[in-house]
Every structure is written in C-alpha cells, then in structure tokens.
Amino acid sequence: MFKKISLSIFLIILSLHGYSQEAQLSRLSKLSLLTVGTGQDLAAKFGHSAIRLQDPSVGIDVVYGYGTYNFEDPNFYLNFTRGKLDYTITRHPFSLFERNYVVEQRWIKEQELNLDLEQRKKIVGFLETNLLPENRLYTYDFLFENCATKIPEIFEKNLGDALRFDYNHLEEQFTFRQLIHQNLNVNSWSNFGIDLALGSVIDRKATPYEHLFLPIYVYEQLKYATVNGTPIVKKEVLILDIPTARDTTFFLLSPTFWLGLLLLVVSYCTYSDWKGNTRTKWIDTLLFSLTGIAGFIILFLWFLTDHDATKANYNIFWAFAPNLIIAFYLVKKQPLKWLRTYIRIALVLLVISVVLWLLKVQVFSVLISFILLALGIRYLFLIYHFKKPAQLFKNKKY
C-alpha cells in the first residue's frame, strides 16, 4: 500500500513539473468547476470557487483555487486593513479539499467542462504558470479580484472568442450592496459592519458580468455559457449534499438588541434630563465617543487604504469624527458656549445623511435607524439645554 501511495505521489509531481511550459495531459483528463456553499464565518459567507483537474491515467486529482492568504504573515492585520494584503493561488489534492468542507459542513457542486484536450492543456498550463513563485501573488479586491472573478478571467484568457456568456437568465440586476446582502443576515454584526464600512460606490447597479464576483453567480452563469456554440457544462454532480445552515443570531447578542437598548437609554436619560433641568454627562460622552470613533474609522478606510469599496462613504455625516474630540468637552459641567453651534451643525449633517439615504445616494443599514434617532433626540435636547441661562441649572446635579 505504501509503495502504491509513494508511486502515485511521484507520478503526480512528475506530471505537474512541466505544466508551466506545456501541460502533459491524457485524453482521459477532465476539468471542472467546483462551487462551495456558504459557511458560518464571515470569510465563508459568500462561498468559494475552484477548478478541479482529474487525469486517472496518471492518478491526478487536484484542485486549483485562488483567494488563499497567509494568516501567519507578521503584517497580516495591517495589510488587510489597508487593502494591501497579498493573496495567492494554491493547488491541493481533491481529497484534502473535500475533507475541509466536510468539516465546515458546506455543500460542493461540480460542473464538468466540455472542453477538448488542447483547451484543457491551455487552462492547466495557465494555472501552473500562475503557481510559479514570481506569479502566484496578487492583490486581493473583494469585488473585482477574488476566487470567483478569477474563474471567468481564466476562461476568457484561454478560450478567447470561442467563449460566450449569456446573461438572459438574470431576471434582475442588483447593486453590489444588494448582492452582498443576499449572503448575510440583516440582524447581524457582520451585515451592520459591512454597511458601515463600505461606501456609496457599491450602491450602483452591477453589470451582469460584475455579478460574477459571487461564486453562486459564476455557477449559474456557467449553465448558460458556450464554447464554439456548445454548452460549456458537460454534466453536473453534487459531491457534498449538505444543507446550508440557517444564519441565526441569538437576539440578546444581536445589533437590534444592543442598538435598540442604546436608543431606549438615550431616550430615557434625555426625558429625565429635560424634566429635571439636568444633563447626564456620561450618556453624552458615550454617544459622542462611539460616533466619533466610527467616523475616524470611516475616514481611515476612505482616504488611507487601497480599498475601492470604502470610498465616498456618507456614513461620515452622522458618524462625525470630531464628535470624539467634543466628547471630552462634554465631560465638563458648563461646556463652552460654541458647543451649541457645533451641535447645530451636527444636527444638520444628521439630516443630510437621512436625505442621502432616502434619495438612495447611499443605502445605509436599517439598523442605523436606532443610532440616528438616538443622535437626533440628544442633539435637539443639547441645543435646548445649552440655550438656557446658566442660573436655571447651575445648582442642579450633573
């Protein structure tokens, strides 16, 4: 048994050695697209695409996949945040690929490609050339350079004009944000965070081709693609039949609960302050600090990173970065008089953000409604409160 395994590994290595020059495949070889269902982790929420090569005459069964990164990179978090993280193409035995998704409980569908030997050789040669150390790294982009977008790119570069995509099966075209939402639970922190971080640039309608940044759309498109007028999909097989797990969030841990609680606390404190001619300093410090921090994060993603999807983010109007500085002034019992003017400006910006939302210049997360209401209530109270003569509340408890 050990000798058979060793011989098989040796043949695989020997056979793959020359692929960067010219792929040595037999007529029994097969290429197929593998599509993987969604998983529980955020990185797995959008599925996965890969290409499988089988050649039983030499015992080859491997999977080529893009979208792999080195989590051990010492600059991983910094590069990821700045949009400068290098991803790579990898090649793994199919058995390892399949085992991984058995563990993650994610379905796998296979579409065998109806390609002749020369076309298969050309695609495999292209993939092997990409595997060379000098070629394997590329800068990842969530919308335009991911594991799914690489699939039509590979086919286009190697099949040329023989390849035709037919988009007539698309009943509706969606914006990038709508496409992202198809894979996320609205009442989840991941959905809230993505809507907060990504700007108005993703609220334009994606072209039919741009829908292919999601693996499921690549899978569906392949059913309607042709090579020299012949369907590119020869047959389809369900390799792992695992139902997609329902994406549920425990309510007490959900953003609806916590943001709703924030609105209730702000409303209660504001009513109590209004009735008692007082001001709850800690609620102002909390509210202004949180929105200020969010604002600085948005500014960082907009101007100091290479992420295109985080540009033109009008969440900045309500998540106003200077609020973080103002939070320190609001700790004082008698804030400076100019703060009333500042809060008026912040209220105007809050209204502008709502208008932009209503006009669909940028679609905000529905969960932000809680924050906008809390800010609106508190801004109006502070404008009223700072207008009063100091003697009306100077002896009150703060």
The answer to the question of residue 267 being in a domain is yes
- R_g over Cα of the chain: 27
For residue 377, what are the domain limits?
A: 251-392
Q: 231 and 299 in one domain?
A: no
Residue range 227-255: mean pLDDT, rounded: 93
Q: Which strand (E) or helix (H) includes residue 60?
A: strand 60-68
- The side-by-side arrangement of strands in the sheet containing 108-113 is 137-139, 86-93, 60-68, 48-55, 30-36, 108-113, 233-240
The answer to the question of residue 321 being in a domain is yes
The answer to the question of residue 43 being in a domain is yes
Tell me: pLDDT of 206 over 60: yes
The residue from 185, 216, 240 where one domain ends is: 240
The answer to the question of residue 7 being in a domain is yes
Domain count for the chain = 2
CA distance 154 to 69: 20
Q: 123 and 260 in one domain?
A: no
% pLDDT > 70, the chain: 88
Q: 267 and 236 in one domain?
A: no
Residue range 282-306: mean pLDDT, rounded: 96
Q: 267 and 163 in one domain?
A: no
Tell me: pLDDT of 70 over 50: yes
Lowest mean pLDDT among 39-48, 92-101, 159-168, 381-390: 381-390
Mean pLDDT, the chain, integer: 89
Q: 351 and 261 in one domain?
A: yes
The answer to the question of residue 397 being in a domain is no
Nearest in space to 88 (alpha carbons), one of 72, 61, 70, 62 = 70
Using DSSP, state whether 388 is helix, strand or coil: coil
The answer to the question of residue 72 being in a domain is yes
The answer to the question of residue 245 being in a domain is no
Q: 256 and 315 in one domain?
A: yes
Q: 233 and 255 in one domain?
A: no
Alpha helix stretches (DSSP H) within the chain = 2-16, 76-82, 94-104, 117-131, 150-159, 176-181, 189-197, 215-222, 255-276, 281-303, 323-329, 339-358, 368-387
Tell me: pLDDT of 333 over 90: no
**Is residue 391 very low, low, confident or very high in pLDDT (cuts 50, 70, 90)?**
very low
CA 229 distance to own-chain centroid: 35
CA distance 306 to 299: 13
The answer to the question of residue 44 being in a domain is yes
Given the structure tokens 């799914």, which residue do they identify? 148
**Is residue 248 very low, low, confident or very high in pLDDT (cuts 50, 70, 90)?**
confident
Residue range 230-248: mean pLDDT, rounded: 93
Q: For 243-279, give one letter per residue: b (16+ CB within 10 A) or e.
A: eeeebebeeeebbbeebeebbeebeebbeebeeeeeb
CA distance 338 to 387: 11
Q: 258 and 234 in one domain?
A: no
Q: 60 and 35 in one domain?
A: yes
Better pLDDT: 139 or 315? 315
Q: 110 and 34 in one domain?
A: yes
Q: 294 and 217 in one domain?
A: no
Q: 7 and 147 in one domain?
A: yes
Residue 89: how many CB atoms within 10 A of its CB? 23
